[in-house]
């Protein structure tokens, strides 16, 4: 019998990487699609799996759709990746962010409790929950939360609701507290992809400047393809638990910029980068750096792709994509 998994957020960045991993492992994969006049399957196409997923229509804000999906599919594993995941928009759309990221998780957990209590549940928690908090410049599973955005606050609710369903109803519900992870199919608004796409356009003479916000924040950036392996391992553990998934390295946005330009053979990056206050945030998370000792010891997980390899991969993919478009 094939194992079954439901993946929400199937059209985003992580959904396609996770679906590909699960399909390779022989799973039947259901993907939750919200109603769109024209849904974008580009990320699934990029990974060559757009025809291999069983799509089901539903929305995280519509509890009845989630109740019937869980009732009808009873998947062994549920990976909740759906979210309004862009921190920058969460101040302007705080209510929507809360409805999707907080109440949506409650809807899904309730559906599991009523109709499929043996389903294992993975919640896409985030290092944004730490916000200002760290201990000697590092964050792990014991670091208190101090979120800095409505997005971070919404994810703290979802984190604790996941813990609460585990403790109250004995549901196998786990949090992956993932630090920033990127790839060639990262959404274009996020800083890494905005930079690699901008660098590729500058390299090809399609653009002559890149407008960014604050270059000082530090992030612990890894590769999405590595991080979905951790998601899967978290649901294969003997007991449900919460894990930090990161690289343990931190770099400034400016370092990412410098290396991305260098990867395209452009050394005078300052000539092209402009600071634009429109991209600054009302409150910033200055530094993220995760300690992954627990994941290494209990899951046997480690990241494989380095910071430099990630940047080279993304710049190369963006140059290739634009060259292909121009042909
Ligand atoms: P993403 O690219 O923004 O994908 C999010 C997905 O959620 C999209 O496919 C989106 O659908 C879907 N979605 C949004 N609202 C929905 C709704 N009301 N109902 C159903 N689906 C909805 O995010 P990602 O980078 O893949 O991240 C996956 C998850 O991990 C998110 O929960 C994010 O918050 C969390 N996370 C990400 C990172 C990271 O660095 N990438 C780090 C920590 C945690 P549409 O395609 O239809 O818009
Ligand atoms: O790429 P970002 O938008 O990612 P951010 O805010 O760290 O959030 C991402 O990672 C979280 C995990 O920690 C996820 F939970 C979340 O869903 C998302 O995937 O911004 C990174 C940094 C920020 O400090 C931002 O202020 O880059 C800075 N930045 C500077 N200029 C910019 C820009 N960010 C964006 N998006 N665009 C800019 O022009």
20 backbone φψ class: left, alpha, beta (φ>0; ψ -120 to 50) = alpha
Q: Which structure tokens are listed for 193?
A: 């992809």
* Secondary structure in 3-state letters for 90-102: CCCCHHHHHHHHH
Band (pLDDT 50/70/90 cuts) for residue 38 is: confident
* Secondary structure in 3-state letters for 183-244: CCCCCCCCHHHHHHHHHHHHHCCCCCCEEECCCCCEECCEEHHHHHHHHHHHHHCCCCCEEE
Once rounded to an integer, what is the mean pLDDT over residues 38-48? 93
pLDDT at 41 over 80: yes
- pTM comes to 0.98
Band (pLDDT 50/70/90 cuts) for residue 239 is: very high
For residue 175, give the ligand nearest its CA: 1
Residues in the chain: 327
- How confident is the model at residue 77, as a pLDDT? 98
Q: Containing H/E element for 31?
A: strand 28-33
Residues with Cβ within 8 Å of residue 32, at least 6 apart in sequence = 6, 7, 8, 9, 10, 56, 57, 58, 69, 82
Could you give the CA distance from residue 176 to residue 233 in angstroms, rounded to a whole number? Answer: 10
- How confident is the model at residue 213, as a pLDDT? 98
Percent of the chain with pLDDT over 90: 98
- How confident is the model at residue 97, as a pLDDT? 98
Could you give the CA distance from residue 223 to residue 245 in angstroms, rounded to a whole number? Answer: 11
- How confident is the model at residue 315, as a pLDDT? 98
Band (pLDDT 50/70/90 cuts) for residue 87 is: very high
Band (pLDDT 50/70/90 cuts) for residue 300 is: very high
Ligand 2 pocket at CB < 6 A: 85, 87-88, 126-128, 179-180, 189-192, 194, 212-214, 217, 219, 253, 279, 281, 284, 288
For residue 196, give the ligand nearest its CA: 2
Could you give the CA distance from residue 120 to residue 149 in angstroms, rounded to a whole number? Answer: 29
CA distances from 294 to 45, 121, 301 (A): 34, 19, 9
Once rounded to an integer, what is the mean pLDDT over residues 155-167? 99
pLDDT at 37 over 90: no
Contact 149, 97 (CB under 8 A): no
Find the DSSP H helices in the chain: 14-24, 42-46, 63-73, 94-98, 104-115, 150-169, 191-203, 224-236, 253-263, 293-299, 307-326
Q: Mind telling me the catalytic residues?
A: 126, 128, 151
Q: How far is the CA of 204 from the centre of ligand 1 (A)?
A: 30
Averaged pLDDT of the chain: 97
Taking only the tens place, the pLDDT of each residue in 164-189 is 999 999 999 999 999 999 999 999 99
Q: Ligand 2: which of 180, 182, 193 to mutate, most ligand atoms within 8 Å of CB? A: 180
Q: Which structure tokens are listed for 118?
A: 């043996």
CA atoms within 13 A on the CB side of 61: 10
Once rounded to an integer, what is the mean pLDDT over residues 297-320? 98
Band (pLDDT 50/70/90 cuts) for residue 280 is: very high
Would you call 139 helix, strand, or coil by DSSP? Answer: strand
Domains and CATH numbers, the chain: 4-181+221-245 (3.40.50.720), 188-219+251-287+306-326 (3.90.25.10)
- How confident is the model at residue 92, as a pLDDT? 98
- How confident is the model at residue 327, as a pLDDT? 85
Band (pLDDT 50/70/90 cuts) for residue 106 is: very high
- How confident is the model at residue 36, as a pLDDT? 83
What are the beta bridge partners of residue 29?
5
- How confident is the model at residue 120, as a pLDDT? 98
What are the beta bridge partners of residue 8?
32, 80
pLDDT at 65 over 90: yes
């Amino acid at each position: 019998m094939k194992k079954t998994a439901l993946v929400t957020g199937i059209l985003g960045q992580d959904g396609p990487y996770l679906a590909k991993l699960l399909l390779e492992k022989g799973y039947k994969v259901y993907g939750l699609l919200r109603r769109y006049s024209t849904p974008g399957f580009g990320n699934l196409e990029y990974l060559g799996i757009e025809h291999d997923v069983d799509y089901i229509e539903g929305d995280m804000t519509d509890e009845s759709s989630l109740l019937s999906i869980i009732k009808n599919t009873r998947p062994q594993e549920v990976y909740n990746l759906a979210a309004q995941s862009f921190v920058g928009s969460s101040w302007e759309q705080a209510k929507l962010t809360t409805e999707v990221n907080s109440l949506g998780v409650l809807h899904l957990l309730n559906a599991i409790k009523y109709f499929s209590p043996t389903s294992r549940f993975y919640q896409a928690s985030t290092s944004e929950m730490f916000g200002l908090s760290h201990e000697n410049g590092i964050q792990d599973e014991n670091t208190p939360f101090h979120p800095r955005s409505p997005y971070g606050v919404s994810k703290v609710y979802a984190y604790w609701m996941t813990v609460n369903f585990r403790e109250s109803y004995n549901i196998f519900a786990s949090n992956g507290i993932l630090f920033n992870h990127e790839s060639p199919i990262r959404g274009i608004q996020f800083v890494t992809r905005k930079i690699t796409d901008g660098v590729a356009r500058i390299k090809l003479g399609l653009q002559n400047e890149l407008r960014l916000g604050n270059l000082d924040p530090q992030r612990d950036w890894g590769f999405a393809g590595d991080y979905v392996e951790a998601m899967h391992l978290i649901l294969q553990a003997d007991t449900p638990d919460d894990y930090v998934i990161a690289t343990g390295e931190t770099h400034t946005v400016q370092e990412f910029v410098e290396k991305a330009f260098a990867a395209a053979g452009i050394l005078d990056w300052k000539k092209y980068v402009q600071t634009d206050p429109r991209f600054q945030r009302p409150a910033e998370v200055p530094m993220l750096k995760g300690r992954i000792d627990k994941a290494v010891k209990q899951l046997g997980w480690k990241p494989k792709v380095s910071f430099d390899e990630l940047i080279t991969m993304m710049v190369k993919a963006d140059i290739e994509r634009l060259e292909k478009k121009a042909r």
